[in-house]
């Protein structure tokens, strides 16, 4: 298939990719909240924007946000829900430059809270990436931290595996393999007051980071090995229930329903009955909701590894019986997450089709919202020319359209209770922050676990 999107693309180590489309072209989007239920979401959240900000503020006091996050949102026109929350976000290179002042201000406040006096920050990055876009992401992060007034260095968990064509991705920046000195971690002659992780710790928490006295943000306990999607979406469900009660909205409109099964072995076909049963239940629930809102669509369900996999080990079914009839390729795909770990726990999530279609070709798109501390700082649309509105777009070949957030976000326009860019992005920022609040609860959960 020929793509009409500009530029080429490659997935990076986080499945995030590449070529930015200028903001000016981003008006290739049509109205999305056309369904009655979508209009209800938009008008409710925009009208209550001041109360929502107060509500969120109270929650950040009780459960502080993790250092940063990106949230993938699917807007179906009749519902808007987060489908993935990444606590070690790459892709800062995909944000529009106009987002940088917001990023800098948020970084400053987040670091200041843990390092009121000192000014040295160590950014621990992925060591094994060969992806130039990931390097670019790191360089943007380093630059933002420096412009927030901090001295910054790059920490590697092991000697970097440098590919032939990327001779020195960290040239010009202080960098090295992290060293442990007593209860502190740093580099030669660089003793940071805090550590920021941009490495999702897929091999587990390294010994060097255990029991150190410096604060590490986000908590290593939120690394890929510990985190479960079912825990995140469980917290999210509770939060959306509370939020929906307060602001008089059906919680389903902001929540992709899920169920989970442990101990699935696709290769040996074990545990499939559990999957089938839960899929049946989920399809039943979705169909009832579709009837309630007169949505004329065929529901679908997404199967994902419960432990984060960034776009891998994801599968879509339209019928519960499909779980019994996976072909070899599908079984093998669902058995291998990032790093080749075998998948044993599976989450079934209500599929949310995207109504965001980019450009004349109407490419399927979803928005990715970036937050630092508890502030929405920017985002982009992820577009894919080869994927349908019901497929995961977090795949090789994705393209990125920066969101014009500086103009729009946080700027709900209650005077205009219709869909405009301002109001749409405000609503996205609210739902993304509800997912961030779920991550804050995860963080507290893990803190209790390790304390």
Is 358 or 405 the residue whose CB approaches a second copy more closely?
405
Instruction: Tell me the closest approach of the beta carbon of residue 283 to a second copy, in angstroms.
Output: 39
What does the alpha-carbon distance between residue 198 and residue 284 come to, in Å, rounded to a whole number?
Answer: 40
From the DSSP assignment, how many helices (H) and strands (E) are in the chain? Answer: 9, 17
Instruction: Tell me the closest approach of the beta carbon of residue 226 to a second copy, in angstroms.
Output: 30
What does the alpha-carbon distance between residue 379 and residue 400 come to, in Å, rounded to a whole number?
Answer: 10
Is 59 or 387 the residue whose CB approaches a second copy more closely?
59
Here the tokens at position 144 are 């933002």
Is 118 or 205 the residue whose CB approaches a second copy more closely?
118
Residue with tokens 């009208």: 47
The answer to whether the beta carbons of residues 65 and 373 sit under 8 Å apart is: yes
> CA torsion, points 5, 10, 13, 19, in degrees to nearest 10?
-40
Is 137 or 406 the residue whose CB approaches a second copy more closely?
406
The DSSP H or E segment spanning 437 is helix 421-450
Here the tokens at position 77 are 């026109």
What does the alpha-carbon distance between residue 68 and residue 377 come to, in Å, rounded to a whole number?
Answer: 10
The answer to whether the beta carbons of residues 179 and 187 sit under 8 Å apart is: yes
Is 104 or 323 the residue whose CB approaches a second copy more closely?
104
Indicate the SS3 state at residue 251.
Answer: helix
Partners of 190 in the β-ladder: 187
Residue spans of alpha helices (H) in 251-362: 272-292, 328-335
Instruction: Tell me the closest approach of the beta carbon of residue 311 to a second copy, in angstroms.
Output: 30
Instruction: Tell me the closest approach of the beta carbon of residue 110 to a second copy, in angstroms.
Output: 10
Indicate the SS3 state at residue 389.
Answer: coil
Kindly report the number of other CB atoms within 10 A of residue 168's CB atom: 11
Instruction: Tell me the closest approach of the beta carbon of residue 374 to a second copy, in angstroms.
Output: 9
Instruction: Tell me the closest approach of the beta carbon of residue 39 to a second copy, in angstroms.
Output: 23
Is 148 or 346 the residue whose CB approaches a second copy more closely?
148
Here the tokens at position 214 are 């410096």
Is 101 or 339 the residue whose CB approaches a second copy more closely?
101
Instruction: Tell me the closest approach of the beta carbon of residue 25 to a second copy, in angstroms.
Output: 17
Indicate the SS3 state at residue 161.
Answer: coil
Is 162 or 418 the residue whose CB approaches a second copy more closely?
418
Per-position DSSP letters for 49-90, written without gaps between them: HHHHHHHHHHHHHHSPPPSEEEEEEEE-SS-EEEEEEESS--
Which residues would be at the binding site for a second copy (CB under 8 A)?
49-50, 53-54, 56-58, 61, 97-98, 100-102, 104-106, 108-109, 116-117, 119, 146-151, 375, 405-407, 409-412
What does the alpha-carbon distance between residue 274 and residue 254 come to, in Å, rounded to a whole number?
Answer: 26
Indicate the SS3 state at residue 447.
Answer: helix
Instruction: Tell me the closest approach of the beta carbon of residue 217 to a second copy, in angstroms.
Output: 17
Is 228 or 410 the residue whose CB approaches a second copy more closely?
410
CA-based nearest residue to 338, from 139, 196, 128 = 128
Instruction: Tell me the closest approach of the beta carbon of residue 375 to a second copy, in angstroms.
Output: 5
Indicate the SS3 state at residue 35.
Answer: coil
Is 367 or 375 the residue whose CB approaches a second copy more closely?
375
Is 54 or 177 the residue whose CB approaches a second copy more closely?
54
DSSP class of 5:
S
């Amino acid at each position: 298939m020929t793509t009409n999107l500009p530029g080429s693309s490659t997935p990076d180590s986080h499945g995030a990719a590449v070529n930015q489309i200028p903001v000016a072209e981003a008006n290739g989007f049509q109205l999305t909240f056309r369904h009655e239920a979508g209009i209800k979401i938009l008008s409710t959240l925009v009208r209550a924007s001041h109360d929502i900000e107060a509500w969120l503020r109270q929650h950040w006091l009780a459960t502080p946000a993790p250092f940063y996050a990106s949230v993938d949102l699917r807007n179906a026109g009749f519902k808007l829900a987060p489908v993935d929350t990444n606590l070690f976000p790459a892709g800062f290179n995909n944000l529009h430059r106009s987002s940088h002042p917001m990023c800098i201000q948020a970084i400053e406040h987040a670091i200041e809270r843990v390092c009121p006096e000192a000014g040295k920050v160590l950014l621990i990055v992925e060591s094994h990436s060969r992806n130039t876009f990931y390097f670019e992401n790191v360089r943007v992060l380093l630059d933002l931290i420096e412009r927030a007034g901090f001295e910054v260095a790059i920490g590697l968990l092991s000697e970097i595996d440098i590919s032939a064509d990327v001779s020195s991705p960290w040239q010009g920046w202080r960098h090295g393999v992290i060293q442990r000195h007593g209860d502190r971690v740093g580099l030669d002659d660089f003793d940071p007051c805090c550590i920021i992780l941009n490495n999702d710790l897929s091999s587990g928490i390294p010994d060097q980071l255990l029991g150190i006295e410096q604060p590490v943000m986000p908590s290593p306990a939120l690394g890929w090995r510990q985190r479960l999607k079912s825990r995140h979406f469980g917290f999210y469900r509770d939060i959306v229930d509370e939020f929906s009660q307060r602001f008089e909205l059906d919680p389903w409109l902001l929540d992709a329903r899920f169920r989970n099964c442990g101990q699935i072995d696709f290769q040996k076909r074990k545990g499939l009955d559990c999957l089938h049963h839960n899929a049946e239940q989920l399809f039943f629930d979705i169909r009832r909701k579709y009837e309630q809102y007169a949505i004329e669509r065929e529901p679908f369900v997404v199967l994902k590894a419960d432990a984060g996999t960034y776009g891998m080990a994801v599968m879509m079914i339209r019928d519960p019986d499909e779980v019994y009839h996976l072909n070899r390729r599908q079984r093998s795909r669902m058995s291998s997450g990032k790093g080749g770990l075998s998948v044993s726990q599976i989450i079934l999530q209500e599929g949310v089709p995207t109504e965001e279609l980019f450009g004349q070709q109407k490419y399927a798109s979803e928005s990715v919202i970036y937050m630092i501390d508890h502030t929405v700082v920017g985002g982009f649309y992820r577009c894919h020319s080869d994927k349908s509105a019901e497929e995961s777009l977090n795949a090789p070949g994705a393209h990125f359209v920066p969101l014009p957030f500086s103009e729009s976000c946080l700027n709900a326009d209650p005077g205009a209770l219709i869909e405009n860019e301002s109001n749409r992005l405000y609503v996205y920022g609210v739902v993304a922050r509800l997912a961030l609040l779920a991550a804050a609860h995860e963080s507290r959960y893990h803190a209790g676990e390790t304390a």
